[in-house]
Amino acid sequence: MNKREKIIIGNWKLNGSKQLMQDTLVELGQAINPHHAANNFTLAICSPSIYVGEMIQLAMQISNKLLIGCKNINTDPYTFTGELSAHTAKAMGCKLCLVGHAERRTALNEGNYSYHIKVKQLLAAGVSPALCIGETLEEKLAGKTYTVLHQQITQALAGITLGDNTPLYIVYEPAYAISSSQALTPVFAQAVHADIRRLLSDILGATQANKIAIIYGGSVNHDNALNLIAQPDVDGLLIGCANSNLQHFRAICNKVFSLAPVFNYATERKDYENHMDAS
């Protein structure tokens, strides 16, 4: 039995406007506030960095369970014009930062070693890295999923030490599932997440591995979210396109947070199954 919290991360990709910020935060307030007393969930939004400061100000008025994050930092901490660093993200108030999103891995040719540096710099600054990993369709078809994940995780996390105050998140997103309507089935996602946890255990030890939230991303929507997050090793969801429908996004959050107290608890699992039967 594990007691990891459930986490939902909304990825705004390149979207954003003053109106979207306000509408999102009103909707998310409605998703969070009824469940505020439960401690075991977190909701985060990663917006384009130009909106982060204002998002943080607005989010503080809504809930301390609503975290705002950014989507990349540079490995150079001081001199790369146009980029963000771990310490500027921290100074702005970001609580988390995506590292190695597939859209960057494939298009920008960034390597695992750069992700290692980014993870280290974020942890040192006190900003949670959300390390994105995942295979391409070609790699999957060649039977290389495990090998690719093994390489991505070991190279990014070798020698990393985790403290208690800045959690590390792992986001498993098969590249072919992103914004494609080809989400993994819950059973398949669970199998890969369990492999990832074993890899984490080899690198960081079982105690740390059991604490790390492993988040699934890739075409999560209103229809598949609950079945995915109900898997024992699927601790969260990264949601891109579907968070642009604010009512759907709020409904996903609401359902997940209302069930957060019973996920993963074998004796109360029946409550979840009954809920699924009834919905």
Shortest distance (Å) from residue 78 CB to ligand PGA: 29
State the binding string over 79-118 for ligand PGA (x if CB under 6 A, else -): ----------------------------------------
Per the structure block, which two tokens stand in for 182? 């080809």
Q: Is residue 20 near ligand PGA by the rule CB under 6 A?
A: no
Which residue from 218, 253, 260, 263 is in contact with ligand PGA, where contact means CB under 6 A? 218
Q: Is 103 a catalytic residue?
A: no
**178 is a contact residue toward ligand PGA (CB under 6 A):** yes
> What minimum distance in Å lies between the beta carbon of 82 and ligand PGA?
22
State yes or no: residue 217 binds ligand PGA (CB under 6 A).
Answer: yes
Residue of 35, 101, 116, 193 with catalytic role: 101
Task: Name the one range near ligand PGA by CB under 6 A: 24-32, 35-43, 200-208, 216-224.
Answer: 216-224
Contact with ligand PGA (CB under 6 A) among 88, 152, 219, 264: 219
The region of 36-44, 73-81, 120-128, 217-225 touching ligand PGA under the rule CB under 6 A is 217-225
Catalytic residue of the set 5, 103, 173, 193: 173
Smallest distance, Å, CB 91 to ligand PGA? 25
101 has catalytic annotation: yes
3-state secondary structure the chain: CCCCCEEEEEECCCCCCHHHHHHHHHHHHHHHHHHCCCCCEEEEEECCHHHHHHHHHHHHHHCCCEEEEECCCCCCCCCCCCCCCHHHHHHHCCCEEEECCHHHHHHHCCCHHHHHHHHHHHHHHCCEEEEEECCCHHHHHCCCHHHHHHHHHHHHHCCCCCCCCCCCEEEECCHHHCCCCCCCCHHHHHHHHHHHHHHHHHHHCHHHHHHCEEEEECCCCCCCHHHHHCCCCCCEEEECHHHHCHHHHHHHHHHHHHHCCCCCCHHHHHHHHHHHHHC
Which residues belong to the active site?
101, 173
What is the contact surface with ligand PGA in residues (CB under 6 A)?
Answer: 11, 173, 178-179, 217-220, 238-242
